[in-house]
Amino acid sequence: MSATSANAATPGGGAAGDFIPAAKPVIGEEEIEAAVRVLRSGNVVQGPQVAAFEDEFAALVAGRHCVAVNSGTSALLLALAGLGIGTGDEVIVPSFTFAATANAVRLTGATPVFADIDPATFCLDPAAVSALIGPRTAAIMPVHLYGHPADMRALGGLATRHGLAVVEDAAQAHGARLDGTPVGGFGDAACFSFYPTKNMHALEGGMVATADAELARRIRLLRNQGMERRYANELVGYNLRLTDVAAAIGRVQLGRLPGWNERRRANAAKLDAGLAGVPGLGIAAAAPDVVHVYHQYTVRVAGGRRDALQAFLTEQGIGCAVYYPTPVHLLPPFVAAGADLALPETQRAAAEVLSLPVHPSLSDADVDRITAAVRSFHLEPDMRELS
Ligand SMILES: *Cc1c(COP(=O)(O)O)cnc(C)c1O
- d(Cα 325, Cα 304) in Å, to the nearest integer? 13
Tell whether the model's pLDDT for residue 3 goes beyond 60.
Answer: no
- Structure confidence at residue 6 (pLDDT): 45
CB count in 10 Å sphere of residue 110: 21
CB count in 10 Å sphere of residue 308: 12
Q: Is 101 in the pocket of ligand 1 (CB under 6 A)?
A: yes
Tell whether the model's pLDDT for residue 350 goes beyond 80.
Answer: yes
- d(Cα 331, Cα 253) in Å, to the nearest integer? 33
* Cα 99 to ligand 1 centre (Å): 8
Q: What is the pLDDT of residues 255-288, one digit of tens each?
A: 999 999 999 999 999 999 999 999 999 998 888 8
Active site residues: 198
CA atoms within 13 A on the CB side of 199: 31
Could you give the percent of the chain with pLDDT greater than 70?
Answer: 93
- Average pLDDT value over all residues in the chain: 93
Over range 354-380, report the average pLDDT: 92
Question: Please, which pLDDT band fits residue 339 given cuts at 50, 70 and 90?
Answer: confident
Residues 6 or more apart in contact with residue 117 via CB below 8 angstroms: 94, 96, 123, 124, 125, 128, 145, 343, 345, 346, 349
Strands 137-140 and 181-182 turn out to be: unpaired
Question: Please, which pLDDT band fits residue 387 given cuts at 50, 70 and 90?
Answer: very low
Tell whether the model's pLDDT for residue 380 goes beyond 60.
Answer: no
DSSP-assigned beta bridge partners for residue 112: 91
Instruction: Report the atom number in ligand 1 closest to the C-alpha of 74.
Output: 9
Q: What is the pLDDT of residues 82-129, one digit of tens each?
A: 999 999 999 999 999 999 999 999 999 999 999 999 999 999 999 999
Strands 281-283 and 297-301 turn out to be: antiparallel
Q: Is 327 helix (H, G, I), strand (E, B) or coil?
A: coil
- d(Cα 40, Cα 48) in Å, to the nearest integer? 14
Q: Is 197 in the pocket of ligand 1 (CB under 6 A)?
A: no
Q: Is 142 in the pocket of ligand 1 (CB under 6 A)?
A: no
* Cα 100 to ligand 1 centre (Å): 6
Query: Going by CA atoms, what residue is nearest to atom 5 of ligand 1?
Result: 72
386 vs 24: which has the higher pLDDT: 24
Question: Please, which pLDDT band fits residue 382 given cuts at 50, 70 and 90?
Answer: low
Please report, as a single letter, which amino acid is at residue 244: D
* Cα 378 to ligand 1 centre (Å): 33
Q: Which helix (H) or strand (E) holds 139?
A: strand 137-140
| Domains in the chain: ranges and CATH | 29-251 (3.40.640.10), 257-376 (3.90.1150.10)
- Structure confidence at residue 139 (pLDDT): 98
Rg (CA), the chain: 21
Question: Please, which pLDDT band fits residue 77 given cuts at 50, 70 and 90?
Answer: very high
Stated pTM of the model: 0.94
371 vs 339: which has the higher pLDDT: 371
Query: Going by CA atoms, what residue is nearest to atom 6 of ligand 1?
Result: 72
What is the per-residue DSSP string for 153-174?
HHHHHHHHHHT-EEEEE-TT-T
- Structure confidence at residue 136 (pLDDT): 98
Residues 6 or more apart in contact with residue 372 via CB below 8 angstroms: 274
Question: Please, which pLDDT band fits residue 16 given cuts at 50, 70 and 90?
Answer: low
Per the omega criterion (within 30 degrees of 0), is the bond before 360 cis? no
DSSP-assigned beta bridge partners for residue 209: 66, 190
Tell whether the model's pLDDT for residue 301 goes beyond 90.
Answer: yes
